[in-house]
Each structure stands twice: as C-alpha cells, then as structure tokens.
Amino acid sequence: MRPRHSTREARFASSMMRRIKIELAYDGGGFHGWQVQPGLPTIQGSLEQILSGMEGRPVHVAGSGRTDAGVHALQQVAAFTIANPIPLSNLRRAVNRLLPPAIRVLSAEEVPSEFHPRFDARAKTYEYRMLRDEVCSPFEWPYVHHYPYPLDEERMIRLAAVFNGEHDFTPFAASDDRDAEGKTKVRTVFSSALERRGPRLIYGIRGSGFLKHMVRNIVGTLIEAGKGNVADLSVLPAVSGQTAPAKGLFLVSVEY
C-alpha cells in the first residue's frame, strides 16, 4: 500500500516546478542539427547536458523546430521544466558559461506549465543568403551559399511569389521519421520573397510551419528558375530543385 502522504508530496513537488522559455542564437556549422543524436554534437544535446547537470536529473528541452545540421539561428525558442529556484538572470549566465561559444541563450522567462515552443508557435521566419560576388571572403563563407554563376534573378523573383498561400509542399519535403504518422504536408506561407541586397540575394519566407529541407528545396528550385530550367513561373513546380546548402539558412524568428 502506498503511503497516504505520497499524493500530497507529488502535488507539492509539481507546484514547485518551473516552466522556462528561452530564446537562443547559434552558429550551426559545428553541430549535427537541433535534435539529440547519440555521439554527435547537437544544440538540444548541449542544452540538455548542462541543464540536467544543474537540476540533478534528466531535463528535456523542447524546441520550436528541428533545424538541420549546419543551419543557423538568430532566434530559436525552446522550453524546459525544472525545480531549481535559481533566478532567471543567473540561470542564463550559468548556462552560457557552460555552453560552447557557438550557442548563446539570449533571454529566459517563466511561462505557464502548458507552454510548448513548437505547438504554440503561430509563425516562423527563415532567411536564406546567397552571395553573388565572384570571390567570397573566408569570413563570410560559413554563412552564405556562394553562387557566382549566371542567373536570371528576375525569373527567380517571379517564382518566389508563387509559394505564397496554402499549398501541399510534399515535393519540397525530404523524407522524415514522422512520415509514418501520415500527417498532412499542407502548409501556409504568409510571405515569400527574393530580393537583391548589395552583392547578396536574400530569400525570406514566413509561414505557419515548415517541413524537413522545405526552405532549402525552395531555394534550389529558385536557382533552377534562374538557370532557365523552370518553364512556368505562375504555378508551384511539380518537383523541387537540388537542396541548397544548409550554411546559407537562418531561422530568424518564431512568433507566438
């Protein structure tokens, strides 16, 4: 028979738990993406190792999405639950002190226990950066897709607008371990635009959610349009172009 006070203690322990939301930035070049992978450096794995050590028990860190290996983030959002009473400012400093320099926690705040950074997100914005100069500085190389070859940029700009709205993005999604769940691959894109900024082509996309490699496959398709390999620029292509390199992609923001 269980002791009568066990339920009361469990409720007390539950009431002491804190749900913490953090915003973080990272250079994804040295990591195998967000999601924990045994024996490989990942963003989620780095955070969980540090927080579990501080808490004295395993701590799961949920992210707003699983960025791929090599993808960067200007503002990723994550959340975890701990009992540690450490003040938020001290928590941020302590975690940053233990993290590798390529990952920084920008802010931390307490949120309701039911908050989930993925399921509660209303929109995400990604940016893809292409450098069009003949020569790419070694200091810029890790953060752009260097493409100095001829492209019809006006054709690319016209095709970018076609991705606006609600579409089935199956042709632009890589296979995923969640495919077995049979979930829809229909997504809503609120804005999709390509523009020239100095020597760079910047593709920005804001949507309700994104599939694995979706943005990089869209960029690859835009490049094919620039090369003249996409005939109809008024409809979504039936197949995607080659997946663009991860290093040019940035998660810019997550909205709630």
Q: Report strand pairing: 103-111 vs 123-131.
A: unpaired
Report how far residue 125's alpha carbon sits from residue 187's, in angstroms, rounded to the nearest whole number. 13
> Which residues does 117 contact at the CB level (< 8 Å), separation at least 6?
21, 62, 63, 64, 77, 78, 79, 254
Look up residue 81 and give its two tokens.
Answer: 């639950």
Type and span of the H or E element at 76: strand 72-82
Q: Is 111 exposed, middle or buried (0-12, 13-18, 19+ CB in 10 A)?
A: middle
- Cβ atoms within 10 Å of 22's Cβ, excluding its own: 23
Catalytic residues: 68
